[in-house]
Amino acid sequence: MVNVIGLGYIGLPTALMLASHGVEVVGTDYNAGLVKTLESGHTTFKEDGLDDLFAAAVKAGIRFTTEYQVTDTYIVSVPTPYDDFSKKVDPCYVVAAVNSVLDVAPKGAVVVIESTVSPGTIDKYVRPAVEEKGLKTGEDVHLVHAPERIIPGNMVYELLHNNRTIGADEREVGERVKELYSSFCQGEIVVTGIRTAEMTKVVENTFRAVNIAFANELAKICRHDGMDVYEIIRICNMHPRVNILQPGPGVGGHCISVDPWFLVGDYPSLATVIGESMKVNDGMPDFVLERIYDIMKENGVTDISRVGLYGLTYKENVDDMRQSPTLQLLDSQARHLAEGLKVYDPFVTRDVVKNQYHDLDAFLRCVDIVVVMVGHDEIKKNQSLLEGKIVFDTRNVITLPGVYHI
């Protein structure tokens, strides 16, 4: 039996995938309300294919509880926030989960950390937690790191098809965990050491963040001299060894916007390019807000309440708002002692910000300027609704004439 600890965006799909592929699984989460929702037959967030996977797992016998189980294998998939000031990872949730596991785990149990952590976190924080219990790693408990590699909006497919890395102290234990993930993973699974596994996951997301920062900085340069950044990127990408990404209003989600800071926090004097890149990305919501004010001035719009932000999530066609550029922009506006921007997102059905609408037509009737912050299919397929509006498209998805861009 496998006890999956933490039933959020990563833990729940992992638990469901294992259960639906013949593994006995019990999912544990401290949130009693979340567990109750799952026990009642409902998932806790929207994701393509998740409901079908949930049904298959329930049919296979998956169970949900707030209690930690006595078993030989645990998968810890809890959040790893970082400190905004120091930019260092906060391992408190991981350590707390491991401590709870060790209270019930039998001798020789395998504890797999799926949570993304900065390189060295397991040595600095998890091993000491084991030792404080009077236990020895490699004998009483075996530590493994198997970082997740999935993205909201395509979780089910990527769980099945993405390559994975298994980091373990002992090769034999790593191979056992590899066999467990092979029950569903069709990608290549590499077994290596724990520090290498920690580093590879963070480096993957850092690579993407740095490349996004290059695109964003290029957009600012082109804006300064009145050049079309999208045309420049299109032509440059015709070169066989060039692949510039698209600029945007900022970087959100719980990976690309967070993981690179782990390296900056741990290696402040070495990760200089990474640190400057993250500053560029973090500064994009402010840049977009300044562009909004410029567009208002150019078009004679003086009332900020006549401006609407389309999209609250951090990417298209999901309900995930973690580190959303729109939320960052609204925070920036509040810091400037201003408010009034209207907001709408088809995937966010509850009120989370001021002046939020839940009907697209009503939203559009109340604004003169529409700022497309997220390229949901809804707006891409219904662009005619934007005719007659001043459109500022931060995602380059609107094909109407006269649209403003970053």
Q: How far apart are CA 209 and CA 214, in angstroms?
A: 9
Contact yes or no for 312/324 (Cβ under 8 A): yes
Say which of 222, 255, 315, 342 is annotated catalytic: 255
Give the SS3 label for residue 6: coil
User: What is the side-by-side strand order in the sheet with 342-344?
Assistant: 356-357, 342-344, 307-310, 369-372, 390-393, 404-405
220: annotated active-site residue: no
Q: How far apart are CA 20 and CA 58, in angstroms?
A: 8
101-111 burial code (b ≥16 CB/10 A, e <16): bbeebeeebbb
DSSP assignment of 310-379 equals E--SSSTT----TT-HHHHHHHHHHHTT----EEE-TT--S--STTEES-HHHHHHT-SEEEE-S--HHH
Give the SS3 label for residue 307: strand
Say which of 87, 178, 185, 201 is annotated catalytic: 201
222: annotated active-site residue: no
CA contacts within 13 A on the Cβ side of 51: 5
Q: How far apart are CA 169 and CA 192, in angstroms?
A: 8
Contact yes or no for 324/388 (Cβ under 8 A): no
* Angle at 9 (CA atoms; ends 129, 349), nearest 5 degrees: 135
User: What is the side-by-side strand order in the sheet with 109-113?
Assistant: 63-65, 25-28, 2-5, 73-76, 109-113, 141-145, 164-168, 189-192
Active-site residue set: 201, 255
